[in-house]
Amino acid sequence: MGIFTEIRNEALVRELERELNTDVLLFGFDGFIYFGNIQGIEDCRIALLSPAIKAETRDVQILSPGGELVRVDFLRVDLWQIVAKGTAIVDDPIAYSNGPGSAPVIPQRTVTEERQESHHLIRQLCRMIGDNVVITTLGGFLFEGTLGDIDDELAILKVDDIFGPATSSSISGSDVRSVIVNLEALTSVSSSTCC
């Protein structure tokens, strides 16, 4: 079995099918972040993204794991490799993510064994509903916020901060209000210290 088959989450794809004509932030297993307006889903696998309504540019934005921002007219994304999605976009969340303060590129480990999600971690997370949590996923993403619910291997969080690989700055909860994390890609769970 391939890694995409291992981390695909059909509940997440169904969630995205309900997000048509909405700005979304998609976090890929490979460390890339995609920001655009979801126009459709092909074959229950490929998302079609056009420029986001809240974007500061007239392009779909792709933030690489190294912090480079690439802009394209239109984008197709394989949803089987998505580890999380950000919704309730208030402001362009990645327009300034690659500015000063970006860290050097950190090499990604390759997956050599078949990966299975950790049901033990998911059970621990189920006990933390309503708490401030920190969740990390494949791709090097860290999601911090209040855990609202867990359903169909998806965790719903009210966002405080989102950190991507190789960056020292975060995407703020004032730009992206909620995130849905694919628990098939879960790597760690912890309680968050609240200010």
pLDDT score of 110 more than 60: no
pLDDT score of 118 more than 90: no
The 10 Å CB-count burial string (b at 16+, else e) for 10-19 is: eebbebbeeb
What digits encode the pLDDT tens for the residues 52-93? 998 888 999 999 888 888 899 999 999 999 999 999 999 998
Could you tell me the pLDDT band of residue 96, with boundaries at 50, 70 and 90?
low
pLDDT score of 193 more than 50: yes
Report the pLDDT averaged over residues 4-14: 84
Report the pLDDT averaged over residues 28-49: 93
Look at residue 168 in the predicted model and tell me its pLDDT.
Answer: 73
Rounded Cα gap, residues 157 and 173, in angstroms: 10
pLDDT score of 113 more than 50: no
Burial of 191: CB neighbours in 10 Å, binned 0-12, 13-18, 19+: exposed
Report the pLDDT averaged over residues 31-58: 92
Could you tell me the pLDDT band of residue 98, with boundaries at 50, 70 and 90?
very low
pLDDT score of 99 more than 70: no
pTM for the predicted model, two decimal places: 0.81
Look at residue 84 in the predicted model and tell me its pLDDT.
Answer: 94
Could you tell me the pLDDT band of residue 123, with boundaries at 50, 70 and 90?
confident
What digits encode the pLDDT tens for the residues 150-182? 998 899 999 999 998 877 788 989 999 999 999
Report the pLDDT averaged over residues 27-37: 93
